């Protein structure tokens, strides 16, 4: 991300290196030195990934969805995870991303129902 946006960075040592060598104190020291744009971008990516995971898990437990469709959803994700492996995380997310997006309307509908029940 730093190289893509051509952001000047004081440290060349990465987040995982700081975490592995110095522990949690190194993690906090890294966040003090990194650019605010990078921190905000990392936070937004983390939040978006949580929304996608929550939507997918909720989709698997909805009763009014056809079980065959849920089974196909699970099989495709497991298939892609198994054959791409843990090293290919970015490529895996690219292949699974459309499936994760399909699950979001169900999550948003549930959130809307919860919100309107409090009114």
The pLDDT, as a whole number, for residue 32 is: 82
The pLDDT, as a whole number, for residue 47 is: 92
Torsion sign across C-alpha atoms 46, 48, 51, 57: negative
pLDDT, tens digit, 9 for 90 and up, residues 10-67: 656 777 788 888 888 888 888 888 778 878 888 898 898 889 889 888 988 888 888 8
Query: Using an 8 Å Cβ cutoff, are 1 and 38 in contact?
Result: yes
Query: Using an 8 Å Cβ cutoff, are 60 and 70 in contact?
Result: yes
Please state the pTM of the whole predicted model: 0.67
Chain-centre distance for alpha carbon 29: 24
């Amino acid at each position: 991300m730093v190289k893509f946006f051509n952001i000047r960075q004081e440290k060349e040592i990465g987040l995982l290196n700081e975490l592995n060598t110095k522990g949690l104190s190194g993690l906090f020291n890294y966040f003090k030195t990194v650019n605010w744009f990078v921190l905000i971008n990392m936070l937004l990516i983390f939040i978006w990934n949580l929304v996608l995971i929550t939507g997918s898990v909720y989709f698997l437990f909805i009763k009014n969805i056809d079980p065959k469709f849920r089974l196909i959803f699970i099989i495709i994700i497991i298939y892609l995870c198994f054959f791409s492996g843990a090293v290919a995380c970015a490529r895996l997310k690219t292949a699974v991303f459309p499936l994760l997006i399909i699950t979001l309307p169900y999550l948003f509908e549930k959130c809307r129902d919860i919100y309107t029940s409090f009114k």
